[in-house]
């Protein structure tokens, strides 16, 4: 199978798959690029983060200014990124930004000043859900398509007789749909982390299975069940 998420997460996922007895390789369809962010000034009441990449891409001075604050994260991977960055007080909620924003609104009073670490490519769920707050959006990275990835993917599918491709995002699935949607085949199936990620592939008539929970553990459980059946 092929893992399409960006590095360095792709290599970690491949290593985990191999440890569980799967044959896997990585062909990242996007890449993480750090963005310059203006210095954080003033005081904040909390930090929210919806992606581990938002933490790893953040400037050290920004993290230093924020790490003493209570932090709210989507998913265990983002929580682990906060821990490694030195955040002592953080809580993890899921499965998505909607759940996180709703939790924040239930424990942080309206009008509070909140720093939001995120990427450029996102839906504005947090901004809408937390409209009553003074939200400072800090875009620390973007994830453009990786040049040459589509050709690399086609070559890997042929060379390794690939029958399964993993998608962790709607953007990756849109690229996969462009590559495989012109001539749908039953020989390749797609395992997606969420229904949103699956939609571009479904729209092109490709065979998709979706994890029951929108995180990597849910995706792995999907693969385990299929392996046992």
pLDDT in tens, 28-46: 999 999 999 888 888 999 9
User: Token digits for 64?
Assistant: 């230093």
Which pLDDT score is estimated for 151? 93
Which pLDDT score is estimated for 81? 93
* CB 172, CB 30: distance < 8 Å: yes
Which pLDDT score is estimated for 215? 87
Quickly list DSSP for 80-127: HHHHHTT-SSEEEE-SSHHHHHHHHHHHS-TT-EEEEEEESS--SHHH
* CB 139, CB 35: distance < 8 Å: yes
Count of CB atoms situated within 10 Å of the CB of 189: 16
Q: How many Å apart are CA 205 and CA 184, to the nearest integer? A: 7
Which pLDDT score is estimated for 153? 94
118-132: b (≥16 Cβ within 10 Å) or e: bbeebeeebbebbee
Which pLDDT score is estimated for 185? 66
- The secondary structure of residue 104, as a DSSP letter, is H
Give 158's contacts (C-beta < 8 A, 6+ positions apart): none
Domains of the chain by range and CATH? 2-31+145-228 (3.40.50.10090), 33-142 (3.40.50.10090)
Angle formed at CA 129 by CA 125 and CA 131, multiple of 5 degrees: 115
Q: Which residues of the chain have pLDDT under 70?
A: 183-186
pTM of whole model > 0.85? yes
Name the residue among 35, 24, 32, 25 with its Cα closest to residue 6: 32
């Amino acid at each position: 199978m092929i893992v399409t998420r960006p590095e360095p997460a792709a290599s970690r996922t491949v290593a985990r798959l191999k440890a569980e007895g799967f044959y896997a390789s990585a062909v990242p369809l996007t890449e993480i690029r750090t963005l310059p962010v203006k210095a954080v000034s003033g005081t904040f009441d909390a930090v929210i983060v919806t992606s581990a990449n938002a933490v790893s891409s953040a400037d050290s001075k920004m993290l230093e200014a924020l790490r003493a604050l209570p932090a709210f994260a989507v998913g265990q991977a983002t929580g682990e990124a906060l821990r490694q960055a030195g955040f002592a007080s953080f809580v993890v909620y899921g499965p998505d930004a909607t759940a996180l924003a709703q939790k924040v609104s239930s424990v942080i009073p309206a009008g509070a000043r909140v720093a939001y670490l995120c990427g450029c490519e996102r839906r504005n769920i947090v901004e809408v859900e937390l409209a009553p707050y003074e939200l400072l959006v800090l875009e620390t990275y973007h994830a453009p398509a990786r040049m040459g990835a589509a050709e690399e993917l086609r070559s890997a599918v042929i060379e390794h007789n690939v029958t399964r491709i993993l998608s962790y995002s709607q953007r990756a699935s849109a690229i996969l749909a462009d590559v495989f949607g012109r001539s749908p085949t039953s020989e390749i199936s797609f395992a997606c982390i969420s229904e949103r990620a699956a939609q571009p592939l479904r729209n092109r008539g490709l065979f998709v299975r979706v994890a029951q929970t929108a995180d990597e553990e849910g995706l792995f459980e999907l693969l385990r069940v299929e392996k046992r059946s």
